[in-house]
Chains A and B, each alone.
Chain A
Amino acid sequence: MIKLLKKLDKKLFFLIFICLGFIVAQVYLDLKVPDFMAEITQLVETNGSKMADIIKNGIYMVACALGSLVTAVIVGYIVSVIAATFSKKVRKDIFSNVESFSMNEIKKFSTSSLITRATNDVTQVQMFLAMGLQLLIKSPIMAVWAIVKILNKGLEWSLLTGGAIIFLVITIIIIMIIVLPRFKKVQKLIDNINGITRENLTGIRVVRAFNAEDYQENKFNRANNELAKTQIFNQTAMAFLMPVMNIVMYGLTLGIYFIGAYLLDAALMGDKITIFGNMIVFSSYAMQVVMSFIMLIMIFIMYPRAAVSAKRINEVLDEAPSILSGEYQENKNDIHGEIEFKNVTFKYQDAEKPMLNNISFKVEKGETLAIIGSTGSGKTTLIELIPRLMDATKGEVLVNGVNVKEYNLNYLHDLIGYVPQKAVMFSGSVNYNVSFGEAKAKITKDKIKEAVQVAQGQDFVEKMDKTYDAHIAQGGTNISGGQKQRLAIARAIARDPEIYIFDDSFSALDYKTDAKLRQELKKYTKDATNIIVAQRIGTIIHADKILVLEDGACVGFGTHQELMKNCKVYKEIALSQVTKEELENV
């Protein structure tokens, strides 16, 4: 938390300092108000008081209250500025840092966790700051000031107040000790209920097919009852809090008066009025002290939650991106579209086995390389090394004869048109999605049209309401999987890269569209190098080179015909999809 607060710049600390001044003023005024109140009460109660005195004190009191209001407004304003600036800055820092992450860091945190950290956690910390900052500064000042004011006013009363505070603090702490872990449990139980409901909803057809409605309901009821039981326990414990707080506060006043009666009786006549005055003052300040302590406890209760969020934010901010941009951004060799892997090994941090083991191959300009292998064999990892989504652990990846690590990242990315497995769509128009990002040359409307056409998306795009201006929802939920893939492919085409990389990008397309698309693509990108990761034999059968991966190792490299002859794994894959005769017919 403190570490995170250090991120605040000097201006904000200056603001906090000013804020502190105003809070002191506010506390002063707040503590002054009861004085005038007592004065007015006394004047009203005494026979023969002058009207002018009452009005004078009344004006003083209203002035103090108004002053307190004004300072409170100023403090509120400053705090709102601090809190909002803080969250703005932290949010920005997280966003910028995550933007510079490589897939390594993204995978380490997981995307959903990063999103929560940048949104909910920031809100958590900010709420604590907005509430806590005022209370944290104000409560101790208030408590100390009020204590100083009443310190010498009576030992008996002080003891009573001290006892009341200790009793209150212990009660609240005990209740919190009992309740807080169960609050965490409640959160878990709610997640559990969520999980069971989600399970029922996502598997609704399975549930019904298996006539398992009662099974699910029983499961839900168990979780539901457990939640209710825990909540009732918590709330019962919490039910003590308010009455105890009230009893202590009212009881304290009553106690002070009661003790006051004896003190008054025992006192010398000359001291009586002073003691009576002290008693009135003491009872109102004692209340302030108790309130301040309650506030302080509240902060300590709120703190752990915010602290957890702060810690999680810090983890993101402290994570240094592992992939840094290089300098190289020209093409001195005049080589285009060439990719070479030299003994490349890749291992995830903490993993036992490498994902890729000693891979070497070379693809020349205009060639098509297909990569095939079973799930988890390392196909995606291999191609992610080319645009440096990750860096090879050992060995070198060369693009146009230059190690990818030397390239300026933007320059390198401009060379490559990469279509990931999951077609990513942003909320925005078709135009926006296809022309996303920055390219060497500005992507014109015509270019977009052309790219969509090559990607076989023209038909559906032009059928949409506003065609190229049609809105695509976040995550592309309003278009089908195949349509998403086609737009994602169009996005790559629109940039005219030297190298195309398709990570199983045709999977959601039916065979016909798949074939047509690749045909058009080939025509359009005669000179470009293609790297295709695929599952279907049909998709890769005519590739210039096929790389067969098995458990991260290259077990075959060559053309279809060559591999059919000498690669057992490839042959198995091929025969699992089509018959021998059909293969021979090709």
Chain B
Amino acid sequence: MSNEESAPRRHHGPTFEKAKNFKGTIKKLALSMRKFWPAIIISFLAAGIGAIMTIIAPNHLSDLTDELTKGLVPDTKTLQTISKKITANLSEENIQTLTMSLFDTKTILGNISLQSDFTESQKKALEEFRKNVNATNFMQEFSNLDDDLKLKILTDTTYQGVVIKAEDKLALLNMVNKNSFDILSLPTSIATVLLPEFTYDNILITSQNQIDFLGAFKDIKDLENEEVLFKAFDKLPSNIYDLVKPHIAFNIVKHITFIIALLYGINALLTFIENILVAHITVKYSRDLRENIAIKINKLPLKYFDKSKVGDTLSRVTNDVDTISQSMHQSFSTLVSALTLFIGSLLMMFVTNAIMAITAIASTLFGFVFMSIILSKSQKYFRARQKQLGNINGHIEEMFSGHDVVTLYNGEKLAAKKFDELNELVYVSEQKSHFLSGLMQPFMAFIGHFGYVCVCIVGAILTMNDVISFGVIVAFMMYIRLFTNPLSQLAQAMTSLQSAAAAGERVFEFLEQPEMADESKKTKVLRRADVKGEIIFDHVKFGYDEDKLIIKDFNAHIKPGQKIAIVGPTGAGKTTLVNLLMRFYEINSGDILIDGVSTKELTRDNIHKLFIMVLQDTWLFNGSIKENIRYNKDHVSDDAIKKACEVVGIDHYIQTLPKGINTNINESNSISSGQKQLLTIARGMIEDAPFLILDEATSNVDTRTEELVQKAMDKLTEGRTSFIIAHRLSTIKNADLILVMNEGNIIEQGNHHELMQKNGFYANLYNSQFESISE
């Protein structure tokens, strides 16, 4: 639960923040990415080529479709040739000839006389037949004979090498007589004679094949009806079917499939490369930005931090850098690929056909206009939502953190009333912004579909007037898709670029702050061991703002080993003196001299080395007690650390901890502020420097503990020139020099006795400790 507090979140949900100087910031961003340009260019290329492939791929897919549709259309030419050939054999003439030769009068009459095993009734019938028959009615009369008799007369014969049985002949006769010639029910032998086998394309087509062929198409009357026609195909004998069936050119299909697969494969590979490059670029760039900010923090004068809040700087390190990297991640390659797609498809459309291109653009244009209206409207609500959410969150924060006061002063009703009002406002803006932003996607889909239909209709009209071919329409069906998608992507990429610029602006603003003066040329060095400990303030003038002096002409001569106390009410400027001593700020005029050397001639590092400083705010970091005490010094033994803890009297507490001095200090530890302060004092203890500054170092410990620490500090101050700031006057009575400050001025100086005798501000301050209510 304790880790929830991170940098203050600037935003909830999507943002539409605009940079003050969009162009300038983008330029700065681009310049600061110089190191990544090669990678950026490669990723842009990858995105561009990928986009071009996206434009090409559909064409191949439509080729594949075309190739497959060929699998639907049979080879009608072959079919017609075969059909003609077969039907030609079935001409009246052929049938006539066959009948004539099979039922030759002479042969039949001869057969009758040859045969002898007729029954009585048959003989009688034959008698009758002979009597009646003549040249014209021969067939008629023969047909009238009994079937058994006919069979006896019609013997098996061979015709054109084919044996034709008597029954077959009879069947033929019956058909001819009934005038219902049906090739399908003809006896095989006769059919074979009628439909002699032939070869087509080296394929032998037998008589039976031909019969089956005819059978398949027998019932088809309406040749326009493809469905019925195609069904008939399935009844075709396989050898003929093989000749006429639709042919899918598998080599072409395989070829196209391979090309498309290759395109997709390369495209995927390019996307992958691009993704990885962009990931590396954004991650490394944001790492560099963060690093630069971290370095910058330590180069800025303290003045900067007086004016800015910790949360603000923190937010630049995390939120803003995060926003930059995220927006770049979103917009980077999208921008390139969407732009390529957009321009590419636009170009392709105009190259293919201008009228169609205009149709496509016009049909989608109104959609985009509508969309941008929605977008700008929803921006308003998003901003409102942001604001209302901020308000209610502020109220929640306020009421929760002031919970005791709200309860104790019966403020619950008031709080609830205000909450309800704010909540209602949040509801309205939240609902509206959600609704409007949700419109985008369905609307885009509709625009796409609408454009599709428009292109199809206009295309169809143009085709009918022979202005364009069908292929153009098919191509446009794809272009319209490629054209509508990138536009919304571009809009999104632009918004995220906007927020990147806004965040970038803040980051650069920080990075461009003036730094502390460069000190690399300073040569003068004061070594710890050599310093005696004298400090002279010589006509020091200082103000945090140039024109508002806080310290007006301060003079003091501090001798080595002296104990200086600085007292005064809160806000009197006590800490200012310390800040000047440490050169956290530069004085306006005058000089501060250490052992006669002007601090202006020394580097800040050098000055800092001469001072031990213990501050009021107990600054400890996440790490072990040991690390916190040893801070920034490698060669400190555990014993020295333990010794320091012992001196400040925190050793007992540390011993109760599970890991002793290796115990981690973090927020959840139940370490009191007093104990923290003792640790920071211990940190000072192990430092060895000629000067000591204690800035309200014991303000958080109770008076009894303070006394203990006091003793330790007295040890610390031994032999050192020390500066002590305290608001408990009891701590500083034995100081050699007391500087009394009020409203930024040093109004009195002297030791306790002198000041008490003076009966001025100090005496007044001192006595007020004992003033009581009753007086």
Contact = CB atoms under 8 A, between A and B. Distances in A.
Given A103-B404, A115-B393, A420-B404, 6 more contacts: A203-B621, A205-B579, A215-B632, A438-B413, A481-B570, A511-B765
Contacts of B246: 269, 272
Contacts of A424: 401-402, 404-405
Interface in A478-533: 480-482, 488, 491, 495, 508, 510-512, 514-515, 518-519, 521-522
A446 interface: no
Given A79-B438, A191-B6, A264-B68, A209 B613 contact: yes
20 contacts: A58-B453, A76-B434, A76-B439, A118-B396, A123-B389, A193-B317, A198-B310, A201-B313, A211-B632, A217-B298, A235-B282, A270-B230, A416-B408, A420-B408, A426-B402, A474-B394, A474-B397, A511-B765, A538-B772, A577-B728
Interface string B419-436: 110011011001110110
B609 interface: yes
A225 B287 contact: yes
A194 interface: yes
Contacts of A191: 3, 6
Contacts of A253: 61
B649 to A, nearest CB: 13
Nearest to A521: B773
Nearest to B666: A195
B773 A519 contact: yes
Interface string A252-292: 01100110110011001110110010010000000000000
Interface stretch (B118-126, B635-643, B700-708): B700-708
Contacts of A269: 74, 230-231, 233-234, 241, 245-246
Chain B contact residues, majority secondary structure? helix
A62 B447 CA distance: 10
Interface stretch (B175-183, B206-214, B265-273, B495-503): B265-273
Chain A contact residues, majority secondary structure? helix
B700 to A, nearest CB: 8
Contacts of A98: 400, 403
B416 interface: yes
B6 A194 contact: yes
Interface in B1-40: 1-7, 9, 12-13
A510 B570 contact: yes
Nearest to A572: B704
Interface string B444-471: 0110011011001101110110000010
Contacts of B174: none
B722 to A, nearest CB: 15
Contact of B313 (A103, A197, A387): A197
Given A66-B446, A518-B773, A99 B412 contact: yes
Interface residues of B, number: 168
A40 B280 CA distance: 46
Contacts of A515: 768, 771-773
B287 A119 contact: no
B191 to A, nearest CB: 25
- B416, B456, B728: which has the most chain A beta carbons within 10 Å? B456
A120 B12 CA distance: 8
Interface stretch (A49-57, A148-156, A165-173, A355-363): A49-57
A58 B457 contact: yes
A375 B282 CA distance: 50
B457 A54 contact: yes
B268 A247 contact: yes
Interface string B380-402: 00000000010011101111111
Nearest to A508: B570
B264 A227 contact: no
A467 interface: no
A106 B408 CA distance: 14
Interface in B707-737: 707, 727-728, 730
Nearest to A98: B400
A413 B456 contact: no
Given A80-B434, A269-B245, A198 B411 contact: no
B294 A239 contact: no
Contact of B414 (A88, A389, A438): A438
A44 B474 contact: yes
B157 interface: no
A239 B613 contact: no
A333 B193 CA distance: 136
A289 B17 CA distance: 37
Contact of A205 (B393, B443, B613, B702): B613
B622 to A, nearest CB: 6
A84 B152 CA distance: 102
Contacts of A157: none
Contacts of A566: none
Interface string A185-204: 00000110111111111111
Interface string A327-338: 000000000000
B457 A55 contact: yes
B407 A115 contact: no
B438 A106 contact: no
B335 interface: no
B291 interface: yes
B658 interface: no
A436 B449 contact: no
Contacts of B700: 375
Contacts of B772: 515, 518, 538, 541-542, 586
B414 to A, nearest CB: 6
Interface stretch (A1-9, A89-97, A391-399, A451-459): A89-97
A209 to B, nearest CB: 4
Contact of A81 (B394, B431, B674): B431
B672 interface: yes
Contacts of B394: 427, 474
Contact of A232 (B3, B279, B295): B279
Contacts of B768: 510-512, 514-515, 538
A236 interface: yes
Given A92-B419, A225-B287, A264-B72, A240 B272 contact: yes
B283 interface: yes
Interface stretch (A12-20, A67-75, A174-182, A295-303): A67-75
Contacts of B389: 119, 123
Interface in A91-117: 91-92, 95-96, 98-101, 103, 106, 109-116
Contacts of B13: 123, 127
A79 B432 CA distance: 11
Contact of A221 (B291, B398, B408, B449): B291
A320 interface: no
Contacts of B239: none
A376 interface: yes
A363 to B, nearest CB: 16
Contact of B704 (A49, A120, A374): A374
Closest A-B pairs by Cβ, 3 of them: A437-B409, A235-B279, A72-B442
B261 interface: yes
Given A80-B435, A254-B260, A426-B402, A204 B613 contact: no
Given A40-B453, A204-B305, A276 B72 contact: yes
Given A198-B310, A201-B310, A512-B765, A480 B571 contact: yes
Contact of B449 (A62, A119, A242, A482): A62
Contacts of B619: 199, 202-203, 206
Given A111-B401, A389-B407, A211 B423 contact: no
B615 A376 contact: no
A321 B298 CA distance: 48
Contacts of B405: 420, 424, 436-437, 488, 491
Interface string A425-451: 011000000001111000000000000
B608 interface: yes
Contacts of A210: 608, 613, 631-632, 687
A27 to B, nearest CB: 13
